[in-house]
Amino acid sequence: MTDWTVITVVLIIALGMIAPTKLAVILYKAGLVTGGGVLGYWIDRALFPYARPNQVNRIHQPMAGLRRAIVVLACVLGLTLGL
């Protein structure tokens, strides 16, 4: 992940040098994605309080993780496409 973080920082710095007005847009979009991820996580916890991926039987763990990923994906897409 360090390599991708460095690449991202270099690209953001390059964008800031080329088109500094676009930095606010990137910050806004990053905030939407982050907010969607957090919202999806908490919605999943509220909807399925006894079916968290780390608390279910070993057999059901992959499905609980997949369910959480789908809920988070739906929230991220909903926020980023809807605003």
pLDDT of res. 67: 96
Residue type, 42: W
> Cα-Cα-Cα-Cα dihedral of 78, 34, 56, 60, to 10°?
60
- Report pLDDT digits (tens) over 11-40: 999 999 999 999 999 889 989 999 999 999
Residue 1, pLDDT > 90, answer: no
- Per residue in 33-82, pLDDT tens? 999 999 999 999 999 999 999 899 999 999 999 999 999 999 999 999 98
What per-residue confidence (pLDDT) applies to 83?
A: 64
Other C-beta atoms within 10 Å of 51: how many? 15
pLDDT at 82: 80
